Each structure stands twice: as C-alpha cells, then as structure tokens.
C-alpha cells in the first residue's frame, strides 16, 4: 500500500525516496452506537494500545464533527474612507463572485469584515466546502475575488489565504469505568492542566497523539489539525493576570458518581481530494472506517483523542506514564 516513486514525485519536490511509518488498528471503539476499527499511523510505542485501552473503558462514545466551514481571509491595506460600508453594500456581489469560482459542491455563504489597525481591514468569506478539506479551493477563491475587493474598498489587497482556525468545533464525550479514587485523581490531573499552561501543553500533546495518528492514516493535513487545535487551546485556560491562558482541550468531571470526559476541538478534515484519493493506504484506511463522511471522520478522530487522553491521565494518576510506555518501548530493543 506504499506509494511508488512516480506518485511521490507528483506530490512533492526533489523526491529521493519514500518514508514509511507503522500502520496499526485501534480496537474496542464504539462511537454513536457503532463499532469501529480505527487505523492509526504513528512511530510512538503505546499510542495505539492506549487508545484501545481507553475505548475499552467506556461502553459508547457520543461524538460529532464540526460544520464543514472554512474561512478565507483577505487583507486590505490603506482602504478609502467608507470602505467598511461599501463592503456591506456590496456583500452579495462578493458572494456571487466567490460562488462563480467555487465548484458546485461548495458555497460561499457569508462575508464578515473588521478594522484590525489603522489603515488595515480584514475581510473574511465563510465557505461550505462540503466533503473536501477545501484549502486549495478557498485559496483560489480568495485570489480571484481580490480585484473586486480592491475596487470596492479602494485599498490594496495583500494576503489572500484560508485560515486554519475553524469557525466550528467537533466533540466527543463519554463515561469511563474506573475506580472512584482513580477517577478523582484524573480530575485532579485535569485541574493541573487547567491552571498551568506548561502542563496543558503536554496534556494536549497526548490528545494529538491519537488525533494526528488517525489524520496521518487517512491522508489529512496534520499540520492544519495541530495548528487549529493549539490555537483553540489558547482560549481554553483559566484567565490569569488579565490574559487568556493556554488550556486543555478536554474536560474531566465526576457525574452520577462516574468519571465523565469531553473533548472539544476544531477538526478540519476531508474525505475527497488530496491524499485521500492519491495514496492507496489512505484510501484503504478510509475504507476500513466504512468510507465515512468528513463529519463522521472528525467525530471518530475526536473519540480517539478523548480515549487517548483518558489512558494517559489514568496512567499518570496510578503507576506513572513510563510503566506501560517503556514495556512497549523495550520491544524495539529486543
């Protein structure tokens, strides 16, 4: 299922070889009442085992993907007086121009705008990108409508590009079967991440161990996933000293005497275009998942991230992270 040199050469520049990583399958996942085998690509020991163990500790995970919206941003410098009002007056013209560029499976649905600084306007076009991730389509749209924006604002358009900050988020939540004392310490461990950004960074790295592994397996832009997640986390922490702290993507509590967890994060994914169709392993992994919609794929990724986080916190709250991790790590040395 590995790509050949010709395919590799068509994807990136200056190709000298193909770099392979382990592909495994996480088990025990039941998401929205459906059993799912989850493909994961990672070089790190214990990640797939931890995801599977976390899933085994819950009967069912309720999860949902975000709405399929991507934001295209256009920066306008030195606009004329009244430019903001002109954007408002010509909003439909802007949407019509954008929709003339987008494919029939996509739709520009909203225009927003704001003054960022003296002589700088930010204009954004919200696009429903359907089942694609939509990066190339939105970038092309931004570049093509730029002359119209210059005409409307009387300014100079500089940057024309999508934002990897998603306007909507996906989530996963579940109850986990664990002893009461361990559940309480998992909540205590979560509170450490809530109040301390240095801890929150590693807390979220553990979440992304799962999310990124599924993203790699299914041909997603993992850098976009990481950037969006950490930007969202920057607004999740406790406000201290007048500023927003970087905080945990997940939340843990004891409800009805049972440990409850919820993961919320942006998940810009796609199931058509890009590597999803050009990489045979990515296509096979999507087939293993039942060829999900992007909404369902995002829900699966959120569920994996939640279970990954549970297993990490359970290990930290009991034997420590190294016991299980190093047991699997030693297999490399045997």
Cβ(233)–Cβ(200) below 8 Å: yes
Using alpha carbons, select from 81, 175, 98 the residue that is nearest to residue 142: 98
Cβ(184)–Cβ(68) below 8 Å: no
Phi then psi for 73, rounded to 5 degrees? -110, 140
Tokens read off for 8: 């590799």
Considering 9, 35, 44, 319, which one is annotated as catalytic?
44
* Beta bridge partner(s), residue 156: 77
CA dihedral 163, 207, 246, 222 (to 10 degrees): -20
| Residue 325 is a catalytic residue | yes
Radius of gyration of the chain (CA): 22
| Residue 221 is a catalytic residue | yes
Query: How would you list the strands of the sheet with 170-176, edge to edge?
Result: 62-64, 170-176, 258-265, 250-255
Considering 59, 205, 323, 327, which one is annotated as catalytic?
205
Q: Which residues have C-beta within 8 Å of that of residue 191, sequence separation ≥ 6?
A: none
Cβ(284)–Cβ(6) below 8 Å: no
CA distance 312 to 176: 13
| Residue 44 is a catalytic residue | yes
CA dihedral 116, 117, 121, 126 (to 10 degrees): -10
CA distance 149 to 78: 12
Considering 124, 221, 294, 296, which one is annotated as catalytic?
221
Q: If you search the block for the tokens 């998940």, which residue do you land on?
A: 267
Using alpha carbons, select from 141, 130, 150, 129 the residue that is nearest to residue 70: 129
Beta-strand pair 170-176/250-255: unpaired
Residues annotated as catalytic (active site), given as ranges: 44, 205, 221, 325
């Amino acid at each position: 299922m590995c790509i050949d040199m010709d395919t590799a050469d068509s994807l990136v520049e200056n190709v000298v070889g193909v770099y392979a990583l382990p592909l495994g399958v996480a088990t025990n996942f039941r998401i929205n009442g459906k059993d799912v085998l989850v493909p994961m690509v990672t070089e790190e020991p214990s990640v797939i085992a931890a995801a599977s163990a976390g899933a085994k500790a819950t009967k069912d995970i309720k999860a949902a993907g975000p709405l399929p919206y991507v934001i295209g941003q256009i920066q306008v410098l030195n606009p004329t007086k009244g430019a903001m009002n002109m954007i408002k007056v010509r909003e439909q013209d802007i949407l019509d121009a954008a929709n003339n560029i987008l494919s029939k499976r996509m739709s520009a649905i909203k225009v927003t705008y704001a003054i960022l600084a003296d002589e700088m306007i930010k204009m954004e076009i919200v696009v429903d990108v359907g089942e694609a991730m939509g990066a190339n389509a939105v970038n092309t749209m931004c570049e093509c409508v730029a002359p119209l924006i210059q005409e409307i604002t009387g300014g100079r358009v500089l940057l024309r590009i999508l934002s990897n900050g998603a306007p909507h988020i996906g989530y996963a939540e579940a109850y986990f079967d664990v002893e009461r004392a361990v559940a309480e310490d998992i909540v205590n461990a979560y509170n450490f991440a809530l109040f301390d950004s240095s801890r929150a960074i590693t807390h979220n790295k553990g979440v992304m161990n799962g999310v990124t592994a599924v993203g790699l397996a299914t041909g997603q832009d993992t850098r976009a996933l990481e950037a969006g997640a950490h930007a969202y986390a920057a607004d999740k922490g406790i406000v201290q000293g007048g500023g927003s702290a970087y905080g945990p993507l997940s939340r843990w509590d004891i409800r009805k005497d049972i440990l409850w967890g919820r993961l919320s994060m942006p998940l810009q994914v796609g199931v058509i275009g890009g590597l999803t169709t050009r990489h045979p392993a990515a296509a096979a992994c999507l087939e293993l998942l039942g060829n999900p919609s992007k909404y369902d794929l995002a829900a699966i990724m959120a569920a994996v991230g939640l279970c990954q986080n549970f297993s990490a916190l359970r290990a930290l709250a009991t034997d420590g992270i190294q016991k299980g991790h190093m047991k699997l790590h030693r297999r490399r040395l045997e």
